[in-house]
Homo-oligomer: A and B are copies of this chain.
Amino acid sequence: MALPFFYSIQSSSVSSKGCLFLPTGGCLRDKRTSRLAFVSAKKSGSDFCLESKVETLLDGVKWDDKGLAVAMAQNVDTGAILMQGFVNRDAVATTISSRKATFYSRSRSTLWTKGESSKNFINIHNIFLDCDQDSIIYLGKPDGPTCHTGSETCYYTSVLDQLNDQQVVGDKLALTTLSLLEFTISQRKAELVTSQNGKPSWTKCLLLDGKLLCSKIREEADELCRTLEENEDKSCTASEMADVLYHAMVLLALKDVNVEDVLEVLRLRFSKSGIEEKSSRKS
């Protein structure tokens, strides 16, 4: 593909902010075809090849009548949906090249990269298109809270709680099971500090007695193993694994370690084979 017109930036369609994070160049646009290009100081054959692939990929997206698609940013470790916005071709192209989640603002008619003001970027690990090619997941790791309110995610208003007149202390994030369990344990820990009584709580008993907690963790790990050794049924294994997870998460709370930190350790590890990883730890 010959690209004679690529080297004139059209700032009206690609904002300087939108291209701020390009490591080696910028997003440029062919005046005749409205297609994007990535340029580096020395443009190699592989750069042209990548451009072509990105263009083909963007051609495959079913943009709506305004040239937009929906994009959701999701935390790669916890699975939390951080925010949702809209994207055009330039926003996705910029996200691919900068690896920072970038959207199109419908009200301001410009690209914007989440974090360009707050520095709480969402660092992209992968991008997924749905079966209809009109919806996108930005799977990434946020540098800090995503919401402009300072909340971890933009989703902290529970419709059903409002309808049930449930009093919610502070924000109640849209948490999935593991994160909700972690939140519940952290609430029990906070109740101990503030001397609130709350409900009777096994979690509080464990938080107050590290010796009991450790004996339970060892016991539950042993019981999980016995479901394999004694060929117990699947429901026993699921139940014992739930026990292991819960008790271990109480220990994490006592040590002020987030489940997200553990998941990050796992993610970084399994990018190598286990044997390679174990060797690297030994060295």
| Consensus secondary structure, chain A interface | helix
Interchain CB contact under 8 A, A129 and B251? no
Q: How far is the CB of A32 from chain B (nearest CB, A)?
A: 24
Q: Which residue of B lies closest to A106 (CB)?
A: B64
Q: Does A248 have its Cβ within 8 Å of any Cβ on chain B? A: yes
Interchain CB contact under 8 A, B242 and A229? no
Copies in the complex: 2
Cα distance A204–B58 in the bound complex, in angstroms: 39
Cα distance A137–B81 in the bound complex, in angstroms: 8
> Which residues in window 148-181 of A have CB below 8 A to B?
148-149, 151, 154-163, 174, 176-181
Q: Does A31 have its Cβ within 8 Å of any Cβ on chain B? A: no
Which stretch in A11-19, A189-197, A254-262 binds the other chain? A254-262
Query: Which residues from B are CB-within-8-Å of A50?
Result: 163
Query: Which residues from B are CB-within-8-Å of A163?
Result: 50, 53-54, 57, 96
Which stretch in A2-10, A20-28, A108-116, A267-275 binds the other chain? A267-275
Cα distance A16–B161 in the bound complex, in angstroms: 27
Cα distance A217–B220 in the bound complex, in angstroms: 11
> Which residues in window 126-152 of A have CB below 8 A to B?
126-133, 135-137, 139, 147-149, 151
Query: Which residues from B are CB-within-8-Å of A275?
Result: 200-202
Report A73-84 CB contacts with B as 1/0, cut-off 8 Å.
011111111011
Cα distance A147–B77 in the bound complex, in angstroms: 23
Cα distance A176–B74 in the bound complex, in angstroms: 9
Interchain CB contact under 8 A, A217 and B213? no
Cα distance A202–B155 in the bound complex, in angstroms: 39
Query: Which residues from B are CB-within-8-Å of A251?
Result: 224-225, 227-228, 237, 241
> Which residues in window 198-227 of A have CB below 8 A to B?
199-203, 210, 213-214, 217-218, 220-222, 224-225, 227
Task: Give the top 5 A-B pairs by smallest Cβ distance, nearest first.
Answer: A79-B79, A202-B274, A221-B221, A128-B174, A214-B225
**A and B contact pairs by CB, cutoff 8 A, 12 listed:** A50-B163, A72-B84, A74-B176, A75-B176, A77-B176, A96-B159, A126-B174, A129-B155, A178-B178, A238-B261, A241-B252, A242-B262
